[in-house]
Chains A and B, each alone.
Chain A
Amino acid sequence: MYSQGLIGADGRTEESPEFLAAFQARIDAEEKIEPNDEMPEGYRRTLVRQIGQHAHSEIVGMLPEGNWITRAPSLRRKATLLAKVQDEGGHGLYLYAAAETLGVSREEMTEELLSGKAKYSSIFNYPTLSWADIGTIGWLVDGAAIMNQIPLCRCSFGPYARAMIRVCKEESFHQRQGYEIVMTLARGTPEQKAMAQDSLNRWWWPSIMMFGPHDADSQHSDQSMAWKIKRFTNDELRQKFIDATVPQAEFLGLTIPDPDLKWNEEKGGYDHGPIDWSEFWRVVKGHGPMARDRIKARKKAWDDGAWVREAALAHADKRRARKMAAE
């Protein structure tokens, strides 16, 4: 809601100490912040960046999976994959709409994605080499996304929280269908099981990197926690994800590719081996194996769709003119 009136509007606020304290008091009282409310410029900027990146991730996330739609091994799998990719497109839309309530336009966000200015989740810069990857993405990548997104349903910014509630409802099917694919392969022929293991080997580390840098190195974390945009730190979420996922892998008879992974009785969770952050930053900065292809594909979709957008607007104009003439 809250409309195009806001787009391009000056979002600056008078940031006196009293204003900031009153804003923080609203946050501390668990009040939701709505688009027309006054808010610190930093709060607005953080949300525009985060929701925008989140939306771009949903849209770019359709590409690695779209790669397998025509080659899904059965009609059931194909119908499921189509439905899942359609959901991701919808999730992108809910999120873009939430960001638009903060005064940024869809066109600006699209332009930032296509020009490479805006980031999206680095996980989508890895290729989907086998059918097993479609299962692993659902199980691990959507699983990690759910860990991230469930606390976002309680985010202090109303439109983002409401969008996330919708997204989370739909996301559960994504993870379950993924696990079912991996389970089918793990219980199949030795070759199929090897395919599942190979896929887990490739996706495990990128998946646990999805939670972002360690807390000590995360530049946006403290303020986002104080503003209740984030509810848990990167490391807390990563820990929850690992603890939930290790037994799921054991059930499948698959091995998580981390020789240092072991149960820590004292903390009641798993300890994991060191994460290769140089790879993470390389991929975030656009050197992932698929980064160029992803943006190229989005550009092509945008450019090839130009005539559709123009035709739709022209058609709408024509209908409006006809209606006016008839009145």
Chain B
Amino acid sequence: MTGEVPLWEVFIRPRNGLAHRHVGSLHAADEVMALQAARDVYTRRGEGNSIWVVPSKAITASDPDQAAENFEPGEKIYRHPTFYDIPEEVGHM
């Protein structure tokens, strides 16, 4: 079979004020057709008011196995507010 149709990732914002969230993928020849297909497939029950489509090949993904090396969260406790002692009398801060 010739002419593979490109893959797109679909993101939907359920309503204003929320972030777009990945909901799935679909194949379409271009971005206009991808948006139309996304509307048909992913918003049949009023799931959102804004759709993004992104070519899947445009996404660069990190390797989850390396997440610990990226952030070392355990060693940087001074980033958290509870690391600092503030006397009770000062009140809420």
The residues of A with any CB-CB pair to B shorter than 8 Å are: 1-5, 34, 36-37, 83, 86-87, 90, 93-94, 97, 100, 105-107, 110-111, 163, 166, 170, 309-310, 312-313, 315-316, 319-320
Contact = CB atoms under 8 A, between A and B. Distances in A.
B27 A315 contact: no
B35 interface: no
B44 A86 contact: yes
A86 B45 CA distance: 12
Contact of B1 (A1, A37, A111): A111
Contact of A87 (B3, B24, B44, B61): B44
Given A83-B44, A100-B25, A315-B29, 16 more contacts: A1-B22, A1-B59, A2-B56, A4-B6, A34-B64, A36-B63, A86-B40, A86-B44, A97-B24, A100-B7, A163-B24, A166-B24, A170-B45, A312-B33, A313-B3, A313-B5
B35 to A, nearest CB: 13
B82 to A, nearest CB: 28
Nearest to A308: B29
Nearest to B56: A3
Given A5-B57, A107-B1, A309-B5, A37 B29 contact: no
A312 B28 CA distance: 8
Interface residues of B, number: 29
B4 A107 contact: yes
A93 B41 contact: yes
Given A5-B57, A97-B24, A106-B27, A316 B33 contact: yes
B44 A90 contact: yes
A268 B66 CA distance: 50
Nearest to B63: A36
Interface string B6-33: 1101000000000000111111111011
Given A93-B26, A316-B30, A36 B1 contact: no
B30 A3 contact: no
A1 B64 contact: no
Contacts of A87: 44
Given A86-B44, A90-B44, A1 B25 contact: yes
Contact of A312 (B5, B24, B57): B5
